[in-house]
Amino acid sequence: MNIIVIGGSGLVGRNIVERLCAQGHEVSAASRATGVDLISGRGLMESLIGADVVVDVSNSPTFDDVAAFDFFKTAIFNLLYAERHAGVKHHVSLSVVGTGRLEDSPYLRGKALQERLIAASGIPFTIVHATQFFEFLLDIITYAGSGQTIHLSPAYIEPVASDDVAATIARVAAGTPVNGSIEIAGPERARMSELIQRFVIDMEAPYEVRTDVGAPYFGATLDELVLLPREDAERGERDFQAWLEQSEYARADW
């Protein structure tokens, strides 16, 4: 099977490429590093020639402003146009649990638009909704920080290791389109503010975490259940402690 991974040079994309290659598929990574630009369209049509499956794990370079929405809007228009031209038989997209429930977030509003356009494209598809990656916790700290203080919502989250997500996407890409979505989450539930507190302590990072029910999450205010997956969500194998002990952040030298 000929599979193109858009965003194949990133954290999840590289993992997916390695897994699919190990399964014997013909796999190519497409990204700006390989001369493919989703926004300008440069190199996109050429990269999809002969593709059976396109896996899109591209991501916006910003999270909490209108530029995130604009990225997803432009990227999906260009990608679906190129896929129809190439005769792609399965579009696989990585999205986020909570998409469609947080309209105040430009990032998630952009992801929701992508999903609607994918479903209406006529191309067989599978959307994989994932909860927050453990690797994404540092971005949450960065965006929520003000000096040495981090204001965070106590909303519940069930974060997942990116490796577990990559395994699911690789399996989906080699399978039959479901023309709908599946979800994957981590094996444990925690309040965002409390988990980030654990992360900060384990990293020995110089931050104070404050719980704030009104703290914005990339532009949206959260109720405590809005980021949780469905009951039928798949579960990753690694919990937070197992991931942390193998990560570069464990007892980091700040």
The pLDDT of residue 97: 96
Does residue 253 form part of some domain?
no
The pLDDT of residue 254: 44
Low-confidence ranges of the chain (pLDDT < 70): 249-254
Does residue 219 form part of some domain?
yes
Residue 100, strand partner residues:
none
Within 8 A by CB and 6+ apart from 142, the residues are: none
Q: How far is CA 14 from the centre of its chain?
A: 13
The pLDDT of residue 250: 62
What domain range includes position 21?
A: 2-246
CATH code for position 89: 3.40.50.720
Does residue 33 form part of some domain?
yes
Determine contact, residues 7/31, Cβ cutoff 8 Å.
yes
What distance in Å separates the CA atoms of residue 9 and residue 52, rounded to the nearest whole number? 20
pTM for the full predicted model: 0.93
Does residue 252 form part of some domain?
no
The tally of domains found in the chain comes to 1
What distance in Å separates the CA atoms of residue 19 and residue 5, rounded to the nearest whole number? 12
Does residue 63 form part of some domain?
yes
Buried b (16+ CB within 10 A) or exposed e, 133-171: bbbbbeebbeebeeeeebbbbebbbbbbbbbbbbbbbbe
Does residue 254 form part of some domain?
no
The pLDDT of residue 213: 94
What distance in Å separates the CA atoms of residue 120 and residue 116, rounded to the nearest whole number? 6
